[in-house]
A = this chain, B = another copy of it.
Amino acid sequence: MARKPLLDMEKVLAGDRVAVSRAISLVENELDGAEEFLKAMYSRTGHAYRIGITGPPGAGKSTLTNKLAQLYRKRGLAVGIIAVDPTSPFTGGALLGDRVRMSDVETDEGVFIRSMASRGSLGGLSRKAMEAADVLDASGKDIIILETVGVGQSELDIAGAADTTVVVLVPESGDSIQAMKAGLMEIADCFVLNKADRAGADQAVMSIKMILQFKMSGAWNPDVVKSIANEGKGVEELAAKIEEHRAYLEQSDELHKRRRRRMQERIQEIVAEKLHVDFWTLERKQLLATRMDALMHLDTTPYDLAYELIANFRQQ
């Protein structure tokens, strides 16, 4: 784990696949030198446009991501994909990883695909996903697609931290209500109603549009694009909608504001992680263990014990 990888920054910046892949591993596994590498690389980021794609399981996010990547490739753009995948606790890896899902684009040299596990990591998932996107950004990608299943808060955070966030839904009844409940509506800049050849598609579009009317943000109003991703239908329209949103963000200075806000959140996340490490020294873990008996015997309370530990931390 602590082995220092041989990382050639120039090769990463030149987009060398092996070097980029190693750099993301460095970041994802928090190996020695990860921070130093990120610091050195940071000034080379900021070029790529980031698209978040999320939605419920089975909505066809991977297929859509795949087709969108193909479209950008045809336009001569370099594409990076980060797919955040829930991990099996048994295998320790993604069950249906990039190899299976992304076969159409995986042999294309201009597309870099990386799966990241959402479970079993030491935490900091959204920070790591952002840092992996930074690596792809610095490596010269024009477009970075962050694909996550829209079910957990950290997965939503990742998709929501993109420049344009696309929420993919399917015509199944109640789906738009489920999406609302899961907080998907909040982060969407654009909706895709995928599998639009299924029964109830028009109704679903109507229902999403009705819900959107309650939002009335004014400056940018999310729209719904219909698609049949596995036939490639609706992908052009989605790309056009993303382009439209990008133009809006750039003209309104909203892109800068959004990236600034996102970066502030990243700083807060890094601070929280660093404080955690500083706090939970072996000594303070032992102090907690010693005091746990008192707590289990109801001789103290969780809050009193937390304050006791914090006082110990602040004294040092």
Contacts and interface: CB of A to CB of B under 8 A. Distances in A.
30 contacts: A35-B303, A38-B303, A39-B303, A42-B301, A46-B298, A86-B182, A89-B183, A90-B214, A90-B215, A96-B181, A151-B152, A153-B153, A153-B154, A256-B296, A259-B296, A260-B292, A263-B292, A264-B288, A267-B302, A267-B305, A270-B302, A270-B306, A271-B279, A271-B306, A271-B310, A272-B272, A272-B275, A272-B276, A274-B306, A278-B310
Contact of A89 (B35, B90, B185): B185
A309 interface: yes
Contacts of A183: 86-87, 89, 119
Given A42-B302, A302-B266, A90 B185 contact: yes
From A39, A152, A296, residue with most partner B Cβ within 10 Å: A152
Nearest to A304: B39
Given A185-B90, A307-B274, A268 B280 contact: yes
Interface in A76-134: 85-90, 95-96, 119
Interface in A240-269: 256, 259-260, 263-264, 266-268
Contacts of A199: none
B38 A296 contact: no
B267 A309 contact: yes
A303 B155 CA distance: 22
Given A151-B151, A152-B152, A270-B302, A292 B280 contact: no
A206 interface: no
Contacts of A272: 272, 275-276
Contacts of A310: 271, 274-275, 278
A292 B268 CA distance: 12
A149 B255 CA distance: 34
Interface of A: 35, 38-39, 42-43, 45-46, 57, 85-90, 95-96, 119, 151-155, 177-178, 180-183, 185-186, 211, 214-215, 256, 259-260, 263-264, 266-268, 270-272, 274-276, 278-280, 288, 292, 295-296, 298, 301-307, 309-310
A259 to B, nearest CB: 7
Contacts of A45: 298
Nearest to A186: B89
Nearest to A270: B306
A254 B278 CA distance: 31
Contacts of A38: 301-303
A292 to B, nearest CB: 6
A275 to B, nearest CB: 5
A303 B181 contact: no
A266 B268 CA distance: 21
Contacts of A298: 42-43, 45-46
